Chain A
Amino acid sequence: MKTNVWFLKGLKRLGRTERYPNRMSITEEKPKVNSGIAVKFSRFKRSFYLYQIDSGTCGACNLELQALSTPHYDLNRFGIFFTNSPRHADALVIMGVYSEKMEKVLESAYGAMPSPKLIIAMGGCAITGCDIGKHPKLSDKAVVSIPGCPPDPYAILNGIMKAKEVSSK
């Protein structure tokens, strides 16, 4: 049936979200949990809000993180959301290598977040800098590191779920 009612077009496309965890979501790139820092957090039992900062990426990490909102992954079903302000964020997702002009921006964003707060370092650049540069300074405080260049959306989802889990213990 041909229709121009967008609501019906949406209904036609139901059921596109994949089960999680499934075989595809088990990736070789396991998130690394910094247990020394993780024990400080204990309040993220329900919703979990993320604020992302691009310190110096090639753009691929940005796209992969964005992909979590798409129907395949549907991040919101786990109570995880992106927020447009660090003041509403529980976790700061840092992507990309260190850049001088972004250092203050990162610190301001982290300072604006309410406690308890945590950092997720996403992608090889944010964790070690790879060969592209140095890693951002705040990455040392990361509770969860998600390796990969770029990590695929399931690896990112695993990492964020892990951050939510360890912080709720």
Chain B
Amino acid sequence: MRAYSYGEPQGRRIGKLGEFTLYEKTLVKGHVPNVEGEVERSDTMFNFVYGPSAGGLTETILFNMLTTGESIKSMSSDPTFKMRSLEVIGKRIDDAVPFIERVNGPFSASHSIAFLSAVEDAQGIDVDRNTMMSRIIEMELERIRNHLHVIARMCEAAAFGVPYNSLFYLRESVNRIISQYAGHRYFFGANGVGAVNSDFGGVSKSLIVIEKEVRELYNSLLESKIFLDRLQGNGIVTDLDCIGPAARGLGLRVDARADSGSLPYGKLGFSPTVEMGLGGDAMSRFLVRCEEISQSVELIKKAETKLGSHAKAKAHGSASGEGIGRVESPSGDVAYMVKLLNGRLRKIDLLSASSANLPVFQKSTRNNVFTDFHFNWESFGIWVSEIAVRFV
């Protein structure tokens, strides 16, 4: 491990990674549990079950809401209904990558790049500039697509047809751009150890029209009082352990692009988008995501100018070792810790943004009403598939 060491907490707490707690610079043995106070149950309260399969949910998850009829007093969830077991232990790295890509399809680039960064860290492989910049472009394209999806889903919850359809139109346009440059709409097969199998030269031109339309829709949404009323004061985050846009909406300057060395965002002059003084509600997460779309387009433009020749790095490092890779997925940090033995995976642990933010989401629903639920849920951008997964 080149960027992390075992020891005492150092820097911000990111979350649970296997049997450790991952901090910005260190791995600390054991878990720091989430402290959650119990709500005292009265006779007028009952349990309202939502899920595991319901029309309003994109994925399978069960929510248990303790309620008096309108406001949610507390919430628990069971994301394990769609638990998958991915057989990667003992596999060669190249054979494991397709499984890692399928941990979460919408964040496939984030997962595969975090995993490959961990492998390269373990093997001591130095990756060339072209590959690094191509990976940044992949990550930012994925972020644009996901943020468009999240904002569109928030508009859908408000039955706000024109922006919802317009944003989904743009999401599909980004998907087609990804398909054109990466060869697959979800980056499957685009990444390998020390290499990216795609050429992203010229991709920023395709994004100019999209960014212009996003900006126009964003400005118009900001003038829609009916829509903003649904977001303001909804799902207020009080937990400082959140990560990703939820944390940046709360005013915390936390972003793996700034504090992880896995990708050279520093060379592109990156600085996190943080919304100060908004109190960490769904509105603040909406603003962070809208601003980050423009920021991602700028990052892609800069990364594109730094693309060099499409040279493949020497992918022959030591066959055994231990490494950590951490990147900023569209919903927050994604980290992998791997142990390699004779070129095969001996152990693998995952820290996903969704597993870190799900308890934060649950707490944020307290004292909200049922109709607030979808705005809040969508604003976190949680994917159950990256929670309900284990490696065997």
- Give Cα A71 to B98, complex, Å: 31
- Give Cα A164 to B188, complex, Å: 31
Q: Of all chain B residues, which has the CB nearest A97?
A: B84
Asked if B60 CB lies within 8 Å of chain A CBs, one says: yes
Asked if A45 CB lies within 8 Å of chain B CBs, one says: no
Q: Which residues of A contact B86 (CB under 8 A)?
A: 132
Q: Which of B25-33, B99-107, B245-253, B299-307 contacts A (4 or more CB under 8 A)?
A: B99-107
Asked if B36 CB lies within 8 Å of chain A CBs, one says: no
- Give Cα A85 to B166, complex, Å: 26
Q: Which of A4-12, A114-122, A137-145 contacts B (4 or more CB under 8 A)?
A: A4-12
Q: Mark interface residues in B9-44 (1 if CB within 8 Å of A CB, else 0).
A: 000000000000000000000000000000000000
Q: Which residues of A contact B80 (CB under 8 A)?
A: 101
Asked if A90 CB lies within 8 Å of chain B CBs, one says: no
Asked if B163 CB lies within 8 Å of chain A CBs, one says: yes
* Option from B108, B163, B175 in Cβ contact (under 8 Å) with A6: B163
Q: B60, A58: Cβ atoms under 8 Å?
A: no
- B184 → chain A, closest Cβ, in Å? 9
A96 with B162, Cβ < 8 A, contacts A58-B103, A60-B105, A83-B55 known = no
- B368 → chain A, closest Cβ, in Å? 21
Asked if B58 CB lies within 8 Å of chain A CBs, one says: yes
Q: Which residues of A contact B383 (CB under 8 A)?
A: 59
Q: B99, A102: Cβ atoms under 8 Å?
A: no
Number of A-B contacts (CB under 8 A): 130
Asked if B161 CB lies within 8 Å of chain A CBs, one says: yes
* Option from B105, B175, B224 in Cβ contact (under 8 Å) with A57: B105
Asked if B85 CB lies within 8 Å of chain A CBs, one says: yes
- Give Cα A65 to B186, complex, Å: 14
Q: B54, A96: Cβ atoms under 8 Å?
A: no
- Give Cα A152 to B176, complex, Å: 10
A101 with B83, Cβ < 8 A, contacts A13-B166, A16-B169, A109-B53 known = yes
- A89 → chain B, closest Cβ, in Å? 10
Q: A59-B384, A101-B82 given. 13 additional CB < 8 A pairs?
A: A4-B220, A6-B162, A54-B53, A58-B104, A58-B108, A63-B58, A63-B105, A72-B169, A72-B172, A84-B54, A100-B83, A132-B102, A152-B185
List of 4 A-B pairs having minimum Cβ-Cβ separation, nearest first: A84-B55, A60-B105, A70-B168, A58-B105
